[in-house]
Structure 1
Amino acid sequence: MSTTTVTSPAAEELPPAQETVSGAVGTLTPHQKTMFDNFRAILQKANLYNPDTHDDATLIRFLRARRYDPAKAHDQFAKTEAWRKENDVDNLYATFPTDELQRGKLFYPRWTGRRDKQGVPVYVYRLASLDSSMQKELNAISERRRYERIVALWEFMRLFTLPLCSALPHAPPLPVPATPNPASPKPEAVNGVPAASEITAVSGVVSPSSNVPITSVFSIIDLGGVSMTTMWSLRHHLQQASELATAHYPETLHKIAVVNAPSFFGTVWGWIKAWFDEGTRTKVHVLDSNPGPTLLTMIDAENLPKIYGGELPFKFEDEPILDAPAREALGQDTVPAGPVVFDVKQGKWGRPAGYVEPQTSAQTVAGEDSDTVVGSESSARSSVDEGTLHKSDSVKTKRRWLNFSSTN
């Protein structure tokens, strides 16, 4: 499969031909396990580690982002903990207005409600949807509030989407690949972006009992219909989100597939590649004008949007179209609106600690009957035994509110 033609960089700028697929819970090599134990010990000594709020998967993300250097991982982790306290991230997410959170999703990558063959949630970001009216709306928001919106959306991903996908049936991680033969030809890379043929296809039997957590997302970035002027006007918007993820949500990007890349993408990549660390840059892949065959090696047809070669009737502006396992896990057909969390151990969703009900007359959860009262703040804070029952239009099941902590 060919790639978008852009100017090739110097050879030393090219990323590795094969990404490493080790480094998840249960798949650490002996060396990685030793570094992980050292990292956790350093955090414990610095009073930064609490097993109740910092699971192994979170620690491994930070360690993997720093190439298993415990000292460097500690530095990033400590800075993130300080950043969370300084910005009161837990409270920011818990009290974020439902309508603003829902609206904010239209300006950033959106979950399709589906997953790839490994169980990783598939996100789509169509830049052309951010037309002049959307940009005007975005520019009317203060820079600080835009930043807080991004934080709330990353927290939504971290506390709801990823845990939910972890609880659903998914394939185990791939084994560590063998060292490539040095004599083997290397797929062509352009402008520091790997060719489409470098994207690793997945295999393996889906295991409902797999307990390896899902900690990252697969993003399809659609640049169709985007002008150079639009890209330039959105550069700060995109940079703000990218740099936040790199600094405080490391290793949450599984792969990035760029589709419908314009002829000037090489120039754009020259702007934006500095926003990402080296590990993230190796996950960016530019597909040609027919991305379907490549994407279908990683995403089943029923889970890939039609416009990218699949069968899912999803457009960027749509709400997630949940598959059957996700609907069953949630007890309803739609993703709950507003700040929400999912507890993998209990298999239930709920609201973060400190959540305040929207002050509306209906007080409903997205997708539920208009007369379904989800309760006051006090009921949202109640225990599982005292929770409020929920239902959806087509899935009638008992559901109880949970009160979860949203700490990192």
Structure 2
Amino acid sequence: TVGEGEMGCITSSEDGARADGGAHAELATQPTSLSYVETRNGYPETLTPAQRATMAELRSQLAREGHAEGRWDDDHEMCRWLRARKFDIAATKLMILNHIRWEKEYDVDHVYRTFAHKDAAGVKAAYPRTYHRADRVGRPINIDRVGMLNIKRINELTNDDDMEREKIQDMEYTVRVRYPACSLAAGRTINQSLVIMDLSGLSFAIWNAQTRNMLKRLTSVLSDHYPETMGALFIVNAPSFFAAIWSVAKLVLDPGTVQKISILSSNYKTELFKHVEPHNLPTFLGGTDETFDFMREQGSWVVGTQPTQVPSAVRSEQVNVHLPDQRRPRWVCCAA
């Protein structure tokens, strides 16, 4: 992650293509390290005795209040919420109870099953983002080209309420379908994504109050109801003025979240290839995948897509995952 003083040197991807030279072939064959599993704190495989006791007590308190359903019996699920609140029982319990109440009040399952934009393709074209394949440890890759966001067109086609519903539907699809499918492909539990945010094209004209308010609302959905689902965030092609935005943003972000965010300089491909094999990245991010299409997801969760192979070194646990009903939201286009 670059510091504030270094961000002014961030330039375009064309400079990066010239800078990384022959790194492409070398990095494509790099073995995946076990460090991803070994160094994670607050995950089932690395819990301390005190953290395990905290999880057991929280589970007991939830059960006494009638919330003993399956997901709270899952250690990986519990750890996500506990990490979000630094293993504070009272704070985590409050967060979970608020989430359970929100699910009922918002009728999240109904949103997941039925929501659709009137012009889903138009909305996707005005704000290109999708999930595409998986990284070297099996996490689905979320590619977000927020720099190409056309907020005027978004406002013509939809509204902030429906954009929020789309985000909820997308995250429900992620936890119900994408993560279980990736877990089966990786041979261990996957419940986080790798996010690549491409800021090429971002300007002050785009970064107006409407854009900020919409993105803030979508981010709140993630932080309040889908905590710890971002495993890592790589920001590429940031314009020079983004340094000022980041200097303010990181002051209000949780330090743990800041540690997951890397703002990459012009030779960002070198870093991306450490985490994602080139053939799983689209060409506009320096990869070799020419089949990428924002309108058609590819991944182990899509019928007809070859699952990403994860090296046996990181297949650290036996996973018996039941894939839920895979009725896809209508906006999800599948590869044939």
TM bucket (normalised to shorter chain) is 0.7 to 0.9
Cα shift at 1:316:
6.5
1:21 aligned residue:
40
1:224 Cα offset (Å): 1.2
Choose which of 215, 219, 227 in structure 1 pairs with 2:203: 227
User: Once the two structures are superposed, what CA deviation does each residue of 1:317-374 show, in whole Å capped at 9, x if it has no partner?
Assistant: 342233xxx2xx7543499xxxxxxx9634575238xx9xx7xxxxxx9558xxxxxx
SS at the partner of 1:37? helix
Paired position in structure 1 for 2:67? 48
Q: Does 1:350 align with 2:326?
A: yes
Distance 1:273 1:316 in 2: 32
Shift of 1:287: 0.4
Q: RMSD across aligned C-alpha pairs, in angstroms?
A: 3.3
Give the distance between the partners of 1:292 and 1:138, measured in 2 at CA: 34
**CA distance 1:164–1:237, change in 2 (3 Å):** same
Compared with structure 1, are the counterparts of its residues 146 and 104 closer, same or farther at alpha carbon in structure 2 (3 Å cutoff)? same
Give the counterpart letter for 2:109 in structure 1.
D
Is 1:130–2:106 an aligned residue pair? Answer: no
Relative to its length, the structure with more helix (as a share) is 2
1:130, CA displacement in angstroms?
1.6
1:243–1:276: 8 Å Cα contact kept in structure 2? Answer: no
C-alpha distance in structure 2 between counterparts of 1:274 and 1:155, whole Å = 29
Q: CA deviation at 1:257?
A: 0.5
* 1:149 to 2:149 alignment: no
Select the residue among 175, 193, 198 that pairs with 1:217. 193
Q: Pairwise mapping of residues 8-407 of structure 1 onto structure 2 (< 5 A)?
A: 21-51=40-70, 55-97=74-116, 107=127, 109-112=129-132, 114-131=133-150, 135-138=152-155, 140-169=157-186, 210-211=187-188, 213-232=189-208, 233-270=210-247, 272-273=249-250, 276-313=253-290, 317-322=294-299, 326=300, 331-333=303-305, 345-347=321-323, 350-351=326-327, 366=333
Structure 2 unaligned residues grouped into runs of 5+: 9-35, 308-318
- Counterpart CA distance in 1 for 2:72 and 2:53 is 22
Q: Distance in 1 between matches of 2:85 and 2:71?
A: 24
Q: Does the 8 A contact of 1:258 with 1:286 survive in 2?
A: yes
Q: Distance in 2 between matches of 1:64 and 1:347?
A: 25
Instruction: Find the structure with the greater CA-based Rg.
Output: 1
Query: Residue 2 of structure 2 contacts residue 263 of structure 2 at CA under 8 Å; is this kept in 1?
Result: no
Contact 1:3–1:288 (Cα < 8 Å) also in 2:
no
The 1:227/1:267 distance shift into structure 2, 3 A limit, reads: same
Shift of 1:151: 1.3
The offset of 1:2, in angstroms, is 6.5
Give the structure-2-normalised TM-score.
Answer: 0.76
Inter-partner Cα distance in structure 1 for 2:130 and 2:305: 17
- Deviation by residue 1:277-297 (Cα, 9 ceiling, x = unmatched): 332222111100110111111
Structure 1 runs not aligned, ≥5 long: 8-17, 170-209, 336-342, 359-364, 369-391, 393-408
| Structure-2 separation of matches of 1:68 and 1:2 | 29
> For residue 236 of structure 1, what is the amino acid of its counterpart?
N
CA distance in 2, matches of 1:148, 1:275: 25
Residue type of the alignment partner of 1:256:
L
Number of aligned residues = 293
Name the aligned partner's letter for residue 38 of structure 1. Answer: E
Q: Give the AA of the match of 1:125.
A: D
Q: CA offsets per residue over residues 17-76 of structure 1, 9 Å max, x none? A: x99613333332322212111111111122223126763322111011111112111010
- Rounded Cα–Cα distance in structure 2 between residues aligned with 1:278 and 1:3: 14
Are the equivalent residues in 1 in contact too, given 2:177–2:326 (CA < 8 A)?
Answer: no
Alpha-carbon offset, residue 304 of structure 1: 2.3
Q: What is the letter of the counterpart of residue 130 of structure 2?
A: R
Q: Distance in 1 between matches of 2:226 and 2:294?
A: 25
Q: Identity over aligned residues, as a percent?
A: 26
Assess if the C-alpha contact under 8 Å between 1:124 and 1:220 holds in 2.
Answer: yes
Q: For 2:252 and 2:223, locate their aligned partners in 1 and report how far apart those are by CA, in whole Å.
A: 8
Q: Does the Cα contact within 8 Å between 1:218 and 1:255 map onto a contact in 2?
A: yes
Change (3 A) 1:139 1:69: farther
